Amino acid sequence: MNVHRFALTPGEPAGIGPDLCLLLAAQAQPRVLVVVADLELLHARAAELGVQVDLVAVSPGRWPELPAPAGTLYVWDTPLAIAAQSGQLDPRNAAYVLETLTRAGQGCIDGDFAGMITAPVHKGVINEAGTAFSGHTEFLAELTGAPQVVMMLATQGLRVALVTTHLPLKDVAAAITGDRLEQVTRILHRDLVEKFGLNRPRILVCGLNPHAGEGGHLGREEIEIIEPCLERLRADGMDLVGPLPADTLFTPKNLEHCDAVLAMYHDQGLPVLKYKGFGAAVNVTLGMPIIRTSVDHGTALDLAGTGRIDTGSLQVALETAYQMAEAAKAP
């Protein structure tokens, strides 16, 4: 694995992903960064934004060895089906979006890249084009052959992983099984060790119900599923605390002494994290044989081509990927 070279996919071509890549070029990156995108798209968007960026074409067998200087962007030219207009979705370019992800992901598998960073895609337009697509995570899990993946968001001082992700609230309780909880916890623990360099991570685990079930009076999932699972994993040496009531878990006293929080469902953990670090948070996919980080926001079609965007989340995603690659190569 080349720990100094990374792939960046700009996502939906009509959104702010191309803009983020171009604005990022204003500062030199500490690692070699290759944008997997259509060259003409980037030229056109740079003109629209009024920024000067030197776009240098690279490709397999012609990878750069040194980071690009400020004002320069390495681009692996990946052609669009049709020219993209800022803010205007076109299903004909859905295959292009998937091709950028495939190139970057396969490049990580082949060792050309130490990891990949993704700007936002538009799920709706990909599905409208006739391809069943539920998100980056599932697409890359299939590409890499990962049987189970875990979504984790992180910002300064807080990491939150999820047992369930994009489920209706009415379906969450049934999805919290002992097997699922054990798999997710093992992946979280392993990747905190192997990809974040934490020797013995301390993980705080949320209960599912208010007050973590109130001793069974507000639900029995904690007693029948969560607590037995955590006891099994503690016997394997994991430092797990919980299940804890989610309304008091996210306090400075508790978070000061933990490396990650494991939430049972999407809106249990992520509102706290996004309140703490929106615009400076990163989405990390755990459980894959490759490193993948992403921004914490959407395509923002209405802002594409305007220049009124913040590259903060992308910068955090890049820095996190760089740090994970360094931790992964450490003995």
DSSP 28: -
Residue 172: other Cβ atoms inside 10 A: 18
Distance of CA 291 to the CA centre of its chain: 9
Is residue 137 a known part of a binding site?
yes
Residue 260 CA to residue 238 CA, distance in Å, equals 13
Is residue 166 a known part of a binding site?
yes
Nearest to 148 by CA among 96, 200, 184: 184
DSSP 93: G
Sequence-distant contacts of 55-61: CB under 8 A, at least 24 apart:
58/34, 60/107, 60/112
Nearest to 32 by CA among 78, 77, 74: 74
Is residue 266 a known part of a binding site?
yes
Beta pairing class for 239-244 and 282-286: unpaired
Q: What is the token pair recorded at 98?
A: 């998937």
Is residue 195 a known part of a binding site?
no
Contact 299, 120 (CB under 8 A): yes
Which residues are known binding-site members?
Answer: 136-137, 166, 211, 266, 274, 283, 292
- Binding-site residues from annotation for substrate: 136-137, 274, 283, 292
Binding site, annotated residues for a divalent metal cation: 166, 211, 266
